[in-house]
A and B are shown apart, each in its own frame.
Chain A
Amino acid sequence: MAKVFIYPATSLILSDLVARFGHEPLGSALSIREHVQTPGFDSPPIQMTSEDPQKGLKWAAVEVPSGIRGRMALYGPLVEEAEAAIIIDEPDLAFGCMGCARTNELLVFMLREKEMPKLELRYPASKEEGVTFVAKIKQFLKELEVKE
């Protein structure tokens, strides 16, 4: 069972397909859960502490806005843990503020730079493309099993 990073990290479809075909999807929910379930000092609104932008320094330089470093504190450890990645090209659902946009750019860059099996594709727009989409992911995940 390989740890597969999914981009967009909140994707329902990718998360389901990776788990369905026997691997572990690495998405933002895992990091959020860890934050939410860790005791400490109350840090509203979603338990991001002032330490998180500092942790993010590992992946983004100090002049990078704290919003990006904070987000990288969530995604960075997952990317390091990842053994493979499935990346959706320009997903509409990942559209957001500049913090999200720049984090996404950095995230995709990090995934492309890391030496690991990667699958890049886009969301299907028809039934036929749906078959291709699922087949590509299924084949990719099967090949991961062989490599293991």
Chain B
Amino acid sequence: MKPYVPEYVGTVTKYVFVDSPNTTPQDIATAAYEIAQGVMIKETCFGCQITGSPEDVDRIISHLRVLDPYRIFIKDRGFPPGDSRRCRADLGGARPGYLGHEYEMSFIRYISHGLEETGGMNKTSLKKAAGQPLPLEEPLDADLLEKLFSEET
């Protein structure tokens, strides 16, 4: 066993995702670099990663959100960029962990549309829109399952 000395203690890392016809990941990264002031920015294919003190990261994020408010999405990341336990430069090959993001990015345009629509809603229309059904998937009925089994035989 050897002592573990963590890097970037006290920092936060955030992912910035963009899915827009008007704003590219490069635009996002450039805008972030402009006001970085020493904060670590890593440009990626989906947007960028920002690592720094919580105040600095919040400052950059609020600046980036203005660029394309309905199509920029931000979330926390546990590991800092380039961490040898997650970075594919050390692991070799594709890294695991983006499957969830890939899945959500496949329908994130619906969320962008939702944000755009609800952005201009007043209290009453928001309540009305929130009251619309979004039915959950019903679990398969046991009797139906039994019937399906018996049909097979």
Chain A residues within CB distance 8 Å of chain B: 8, 10-13, 15-17, 19-20, 25, 27-33, 35-47, 89-90, 92-94, 120-127, 129-136, 138-140, 142
Chain-A contact segment, one of B27-35, B37-45, B76-84, B143-151: B76-84
Find out whether the CB atom of B4 lies under 8 angstroms from the CB atom of A42. yes
Interface of B is mostly: mixed
How many residues of chain B have a CB within 8 Å of chain A? 53
Is B67 an interface position by the 8 A CB rule?
Answer: no
CB-CB nearest in chain A for B117 = A131
Count of inter-chain pairs, beta carbons less than 8 A: 159
Find out whether the CB atom of A138 lies under 8 angstroms from the CB atom of B4. no
Kindly list 14 other residue pairs between chains A and B, CB separation below 8 angstroms, not including A27-B75, A38-B6, A93-B100. A12-B105, A17-B111, A25-B76, A29-B77, A30-B76, A42-B3, A42-B4, A89-B136, A89-B137, A121-B134, A126-B110, A135-B126, A139-B130, A142-B126
Chain A residues contacting B103 (CB-CB under 8 Å) are 92-93
Bound together, the chains give a CA A4 to CA B1 distance in angstroms of 37
Is B129 an interface position by the 8 A CB rule?
Answer: yes
Find out whether the CB atom of A138 lies under 8 angstroms from the CB atom of B118. yes
Find out whether the CB atom of B126 lies under 8 angstroms from the CB atom of A127. no
Chain A residues contacting B114 (CB-CB under 8 Å) are 124, 127, 130-135
Closest 4 pairs between A and B when the two form their complex, measured CB to CB: A32-B78, A130-B110, A134-B114, A135-B129
Contact sample, A vs B, 19 pairs, CB 8 Å cutoff: A11-B104, A12-B15, A13-B73, A15-B76, A16-B73, A27-B75, A28-B78, A29-B75, A29-B76, A33-B77, A37-B11, A42-B3, A92-B103, A94-B100, A123-B107, A124-B114, A124-B134, A130-B107, A139-B130
Find out whether the CB atom of B137 lies under 8 angstroms from the CB atom of A122. yes
Find out whether the CB atom of B104 lies under 8 angstroms from the CB atom of A13. yes
Please report which residues of chain B, range 77-131, place their CB below 8 angstroms from some CB of chain A when the two chains form the complex: 77-80, 83, 85-86, 99-101, 103-105, 107-115, 117-118, 121, 126-127, 129-130
Partner of A42, one of B2, B113, B126, B132: B2
Chain B residues contacting A16 (CB-CB under 8 Å) are 73-75
Find out whether the CB atom of A33 lies under 8 angstroms from the CB atom of B12. yes
CB-CB nearest in chain B for A16 = B73
Which of A28, A31, A92, A123 counts the most chain B CB atoms within 10 A? Answer: A123
Q: A121-B136, A124-B111 are in contact. Are A93 and B3 (CB under 8 A)?
A: no
Find out whether the CB atom of B129 lies under 8 angstroms from the CB atom of A32. no
Find out whether the CB atom of B9 lies under 8 angstroms from the CB atom of A37. yes
Partner of B75, one of A15, A35, A134, A138: A15
